Amino acid sequence: MATKEELIQELSNAIISCKKDTVLAAVEKAKQVMEPAEIIDKGLAAGMNQVGILFERGKLFLPHVMMAADAMTAGVKALEADMPAGSGSKKLGVIVNGTVEGDVHDIGKSIVSTMLQSAGFEVHDVGRDVPLRDFIEKAKEVGANMIGLSALMTTTLPGQRGVIELLKEEGLRDKVKVMVGGAPATQAWADKIGADCYAENASEAVAKAKELLL
Ligand code: B12
């Protein structure tokens, strides 16, 4: 029987192999002993970060990154059934979550949506490359208590500030909390733009959302 460390390594290596079948097999194996959140955070996401590093060093090319991204999405999907939407009858809060305009990176954002949902929040995932005003319109439509904003590029990060400015314009800033995330976002950035919180990963996003909304 493989140890947890070996399984984590296997998950990460499977993502680096860029092969969907290898990832799905590693996920099936890990599921016997590990929680879905741990499989995603410690195994799959760690592998994807490694892919990013290899890409930056010119050891992997864009088609590999796209294949790894597909494999990662399939791996997370295979775990969704094990993370049923929060069971309590009362929802913990309503959250609109998406990736800002100009940015098509959605793997991390989707993991955050899935984990928030399984923690018991009502999540409206508005997708990727989302026009800033659409976050506001969706928040109004569903009566959101929080907006989650993902940005994976330094060039799209300012979109997070843009949504906060729009909330102020609409007189909604004190009614809707804003949580920001994505690789280039930091606590210092969140403070600078006046976001309510920053979270480094999906587990932290759940903890911070609970802190702010409960
Ligand atoms: C996969 C990937 C892609 C895939 C995306 C597939 C998809 N469906 O998402 C594809 C191949 C399509 C792609 C395209 C491009 N990419 Co790209 N991509 C990556 C890569 C390798 C990994 C990103 C990823 O999925 N990580 C794994 C997930 C699990 O981690 P994560 O996204 O960080 O999410 C976690 C946390 O950040 C946090 N989080 C995320 N969102 C949120 C939201 C909230 C509310 C909270 C609280 C937390 C949170 O929780 C998540 C889970 O733990 C990164 C490198 C890297 N190191 O990030 C480059 C990277 C982001 N890409 C980059 C670039 C430049 C591009 C392209 C322009 C093409 C190119 N020339 O390389 C296009 C972008 C087109 C566009 N307009 O958006 C650059 C960005 C540089 C910059 N300006 O800052 C990076 C950093 C690579 C690099 N060094 O060059 N990319």
**What pLDDT is stored for residue 112 in this prediction?**
94
Residue closest via CA to ligand 1's atom 70 equals 62
Please tell me whether residues 50 and 99 are part of one structural domain.
Answer: no
Q: Is 116 helix (H, G, I), strand (E, B) or coil?
A: helix
Q: Which residue spans within the chain are E strands per DSSP?
A: 94-100, 122-130, 146-150, 177-181, 197-198
Mean pLDDT of 80-102: 83
- Looking at 80, 110, 143, the residue that finishes a domain is 80
113 and 182 assigned to the same domain: yes
Q: Same domain, yes or no, for 144 and 183?
A: yes
Same domain (yes/no): 75, 9: yes
CA distance 101 to 93: 25
For helices 107-119 and 45-56, the axis angle rounded to 10 degrees is 170
Ligand 1 center to 62 CA (angstroms): 12
Atom of ligand 1 nearest to the CA of 203: 53
Instruction: Name the residue at shortest CA distance from atom 86 of ligand 1.
Output: 153
**Where is the domain boundary, 20, 54, 80?**
80
**pLDDT averaged over the chain?**
94
174-183 average pLDDT score: 98
Residue 1 banded pLDDT, cuts 50, 70, 90: confident
Number of domains into which the chain is organized = 2
At which of 26, 58, 80 does a domain end?
80
| Residue 73, domain extent | 4-80
User: Do 148 and 46 share a structural domain?
Assistant: no
Contact (CB, 8 A) for 43 and 25: no
Q: What is the CATH number of the domain that holds 45?
A: 1.10.1240.10
Q: Is 109 in the pocket of ligand 1 (CB under 6 A)?
A: yes
Structure tokens at 186: 């930091």
| 172 pLDDT higher than 90 | yes
In this structure, the answer to whether residues 75 and 98 fall within a common structural domain is: no
Would you say residue 87 has pLDDT above 60?
A: no
Is residue 173, in this structure, part of any structural domain at all? yes
Q: Is the CB of 107 under 6 A from ligand 1?
A: yes
Residues 197 and 99 in one domain: yes
If asked whether residues 111 and 60 sit together in one domain, one would say: no
- Do 56 and 144 share a domain, yes or no? no
Report the residue among 105, 129, 153, 160 best suited for mutation to probe ligand 1: largest number of ligand atoms under 8 A from its CB.
105
User: Where residue 88 falls among pLDDT bands split at 50, 70, 90?
Assistant: low
Instruction: Indicate which CATH number applies to the domain containing 202.
Output: 3.40.50.280
Q: Record the tokens describing residue 86, joined without a space.
A: 């929060």
CB atoms within 10 A of CB 61: 10
Cα of 44 to ligand 1 centre, how many Å?
A: 14
Torsion of CA 214, 158, 70, 204, to 10 degrees: -30
Please indicate whether residue 2, judged by its CB atom, sits closer than 6 Å to ligand 1: no
| pLDDT of 181 above 60 | yes
Same domain, residue pair 71 and 109: no
pLDDT class for 126, splitting at 50, 70, 90?
Answer: very high
Give residues with Cβ within 8 angstroms of 104, minimum separation 6.
128, 129
pLDDT tens-digit readout, 31-58: 999 999 899 989 999 999 999 999 999 9
73 plus 120 within the same structural domain: no
